[in-house]
Each structure stands twice: as structure tokens, then as C-alpha cells.
């Protein structure tokens, strides 16, 4: 990451009693701005947390449309910044730094947040903090409850499925990630196949409650292989095959297929998390298993992970959904923690559609392939 060590405030800020940072998020379909304060002793205060979700704009298309997302972010990002300052009762001059997600994500959206933050930074002279969206997720559980490093994170959203050892700020070790679809994507596609609407996760979970999870035999890819990577593409295709084999599917057929799919998705997530816990214990000892990302809203997944943690002597933390899904507070928090350590970014930083959190692991073992733009996860 390109740092600006010469920024006049870079060294001075780590001696302040607290730092206050504005964080912007626009890498997918949520436009968010938030202000977070971190005291010298590590106490975190969320001063404001504003989010606008574009779900309604994408719903007719059954998924996020990048061009629509970018335009929608551009339309309202300035208003979100104003709202975040107003709700916090603060002015731009009260900030110590401006943070924004600069990747990975849909590039049009990422550019909106990044350029807004750079412009605010240039105009005000405040340090700019370039934040990896995945670092935001990795730190986000700390917004909900005091949580010491290190901990094991299962990040399960519409864009990512990863197991990460969060050792310290900036020290992340990827134990596994998806080699194809993300878990949330599999929920969304399953919902699309059965015409349950978008976003699919909540719809699948709802209908699955009345279904028989043992009726359809669905695959658990990579379960028997060494390592903690995930694969959901084969599961989605199997759902599709079963769906097409049903002549005139009834509501009960839908419920049974949704329940069988959710059961398989749960097994995959729990199975690979179990392997990751073994490795984590050998490297760091048993601490906390933390789950974040939109799929963490799923009650079946939550309760099975909780049981897994309990059985292995881990604490379990599933933050409220507000902090699990995309938000500005996690970006502001990452910015504040970096600022306290003098890790100010250069304004030359470029937006990155792909940006693995653990670049070394991704380079040496690209779970989801590499190519010109670099490893995907």
C-alpha cells in the first residue's frame, strides 16, 4: 500500500487523545458515510452511521448492475457526507482524516467514494486513508463489541467468502476463500432459479423454514479436500438441475429445495470453518470465531457456527447485521486505527477492482485464479 510518511500530520496524530475519521463506502450497492472516533486507549465511538441501500434499483434485474450502482453512488455521495457530519454534530474541520474504500469492488462505485475522499482531503489538508474493503469487514466486529486481536473471521457476503486469521491491524492471513461464487451469490442465484426475488438470502431462509432439508441430495464441494477453500458453483448448478426436473413445482417443492440448499451451504461453511479453527488453534490458540457479511444474518448458519465455536473452546461473535453488511463505520474505523499508527495514504493511490487482503497468500495460492488484474481474492 502506498503510504505518505511525509504528511505533516502522519507522525503527530498517534499522540492525540482521540482521532475522528470520516469513512466513505461505495464498492457495491450501499452508499455510506460515517464518523468514528477512537481514543488513545482503543475505545471506539460511532458518532454517525449513514447508509443508503440501492436494493430497490437493482431488484428488477435480479442482481447488482454496476453502471446503475456507480451512477446512484455519484448522485448521493455528497449528500451522505453532509448527513454524516450533521448527525454527528460535527464539521469537516473537526475530522482528523478522511477514509474511503479504494477496492476491491465494482470500479465505478469505488471511484466515486475514493474521489470524494481525495477531494475532501485536498481541500481540507486532512490526511487521506485508502482502505481495503475487506479490512473494513475484518475490523467491523469491533464496532459491536470490544474484541481483542487475534481472532478468526468467516466473511460471508454477496461478494466474498473467506476465512481469515486477523492477527493485528494490517496482519491478515487468508486460510481459505471461494474458488468460484460467493456464498451470498449462491443464495441469490438459488432464489433467482426459484423466482423468489432479490436479494435472495432472506427469501431462501424464509421459505426454507417450512421445507424438508433432507429431500434433495446436494453436493458439498471441496469438503473432503485438504485446505479451507470454498466452492458454491456446483451447488447452484445442482439446485438448477433439481428445479428443472420438477414438472409443476409446488410451494412445498420450493420449500424443500430451499431447505436442502441451505442445509448444504451451512455444511460447507461449518466444515471449512472447522478446518480453519484447527489451523488457527495451532498458530494462535483458541480465541474468538467471528462471522461477518450479509449471509451472517442467516439464523441456521449463525447457530451452527455458534455450536462449532462452543465445541472447540472458542468464543463466538456475530455482530448485529448493521455492522455485518457494507457500512461506512467499518471504513472510518479502519481509517482511524491506521491514522493512530501514522499510516497515512498517498493521494496517488489508484482504485483497485481486485485487491486481496493477504496479497502474499493470494499470489502464492490464487484460489480463484489470477490474470492481468491480479488474484481475485
The reply on whether position 326 binds Zn ion by CB under 5 A is yes
Q: Is 317 helix (H, G, I), strand (E, B) or coil?
A: strand
Lookup: cell for 218: 446436494
Sequence length of the chain is 377
CB atoms within 10 A of CB 282: 8
Phi/psi region, residue 309 (left: phi>0; alpha: psi -120 to 50; beta: rest), is alpha
Per CB under 6 A, the list member of 31, 102, 121, 157 interacting with ligand KG4 is: 157
Per CB under 6 A, the list member of 136, 150, 176, 199 interacting with ligand KG4 is: 199
Binding region for ligand KG4 (CB under 6 A) out of 141-149, 156-164, 211-219, 278-286: 156-164
Greatest C-alpha distance within the chain:
69
Per CB under 6 A, the list member of 205, 229, 253, 256 interacting with ligand KG4 is: 205
Q: Is 180 helix (H, G, I), strand (E, B) or coil?
A: coil
Neighbour-count burial for 154-193, b at 16+ CB within 10 Å, e otherwise = bbbbbbbbbbbbbeebeebbbbbbbbbbbbbbbbbbbbbb
Binding region for Zn ion (CB under 5 A) out of 50-58, 108-116, 324-332, 339-347: 324-332
CB of 262 to ligand KG4, least distance (A): 8
In the range 127-166, which residues lie near Zn ion by CB under 5 A? 157
Per CB under 6 A, the list member of 26, 325, 361, 377 interacting with ligand KG4 is: 325
In the range 170-189, which residues lie near ligand KG4 by CB under 6 A? 184, 187-188
CB of 363 to ligand KG4, least distance (A): 23
Partner in contact with 150, chosen from Zn ion, ligand KG4, none, beta carbon below 5 to 8 Å by kind: none
Per CB under 6 A, the list member of 326, 362, 368, 375 interacting with ligand KG4 is: 326
The reply on whether position 211 binds ligand KG4 by CB under 6 A is no
Alpha-carbon separation of residue 137 from 116, 299, 345 (angstroms): 21, 20, 19
Phi/psi region, residue 293 (left: phi>0; alpha: psi -120 to 50; beta: rest), is left
Q: Is 3 helix (H, G, I), strand (E, B) or coil?
A: strand
Per CB under 6 A, the list member of 31, 298, 340, 377 interacting with ligand KG4 is: 298
State the residues that interact with ligand KG4 by CB under 6 A. Answer: 28, 157-159, 184, 187-188, 199-202, 205, 293-295, 297-298, 325-326
Amino acid at each position: 500500500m502506498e503510504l505518505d510518511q511525509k504528511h505533516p500530520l502522519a507522525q503527530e496524530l498517534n499522540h492525540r487523545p482521540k482521532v475522528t475519521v470520516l469513512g466513505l463506502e461505495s464498492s457495491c450497492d450501499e452508499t455510506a458515510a460515517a464518523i468514528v472516533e477512537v481514543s488513545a486507549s482503543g475505545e471506539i465511538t460511532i458518532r454517525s452511521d449513514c447508509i443508503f441501500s440501492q436494493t430497490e434499483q437493482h431488484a428488477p434485474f435480479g442482481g447488482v448492475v454496476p453502471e446503475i450502482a456507480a451512477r446512484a453512488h455519484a448522485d448521493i455521495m455528497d449528500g451522505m457526507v453532509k448527513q454524516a457530519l450533521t448527525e454527528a454534530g460535527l464539521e469537516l474541520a473537526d475530522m482528523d482524516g478522511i477514509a474511503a474504500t479504494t477496492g476491491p469492488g465494482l470500479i465505478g462505485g469505488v471511484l466515486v467514494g475514493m474521489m470524494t475522499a481525495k477531494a475532501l482531503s485536498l481541500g481540507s489538508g486532512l490526511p487521506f486513508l485508502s482502505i481495503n474493503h475487506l479490512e473494513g469487514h475484518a475490523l467491523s466486529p469491533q464496532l459491536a463489541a470490544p474484541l481483542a486481536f487475534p481472532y478468526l473471521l468467516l466473511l460471508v457476503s454477496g461478494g466474498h467468502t473467506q476465512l481469515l486469521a486477523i492477527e493485528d491491524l494490517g496482519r491478515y492471513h487468508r486460510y481459505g476463500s471461494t474458488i468460484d461464487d460467493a456464498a451470498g451469490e449462491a443464495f441469490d442465484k438459488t432464489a433467482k432459479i426459484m423466482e423468489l426475488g432479490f436479494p435472495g438470502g432472506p427469501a431462501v431462509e424464509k421459505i426454507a423454514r417450512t421445507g424438508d432439508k433432507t429431500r434433495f441430495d446436494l453436493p458439498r464441494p471441496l469438503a473432503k479436500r485438504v485446505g479451507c477453500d470454498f466452492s458454491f458453483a456446483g451447488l447452484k448448478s445442482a439446485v438448477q438441475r433439481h428445479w428443472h426436473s420438477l414438472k409443476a413445482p409446488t410451494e412445498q417443492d420450493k420449500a424443500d429445495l430451499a431447505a436442502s440448499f441451505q442445509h448444504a451451504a451451512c455444511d460447507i461453511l461449518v466444515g471449512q470453518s472447522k478446518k480453519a479453527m484447527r489451523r488457527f488453534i495451532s498458530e494462535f490458540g483458541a480465541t474468538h470465531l467471528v462471522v461477518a457479511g450479509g449471509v451472517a444474518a442467516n439464523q441456521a448458519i449463525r447457530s451452527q457456527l455458534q455450536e462449532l465455536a462452543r465445541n472447540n473452546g472458542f468464543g463466538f461473535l456475530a455482530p448485529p447485521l448493521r455492522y455485518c453488511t457494507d457500512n461506512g463505520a467499518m471504513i472510518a474505523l479502519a481509517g482511524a486505527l491506521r491514522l493512530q499508527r501514522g499510516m497515512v495514504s498517498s493521494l496517488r493511490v489508484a482504485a483497485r477492482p481486485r485487491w486481496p487482503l493477504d496479497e502474499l497468500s493470494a499470489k502464492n495460492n490464487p484460489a480463484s485464479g489470477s490474470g492481468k488484474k491480479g488474484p481475485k481474492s
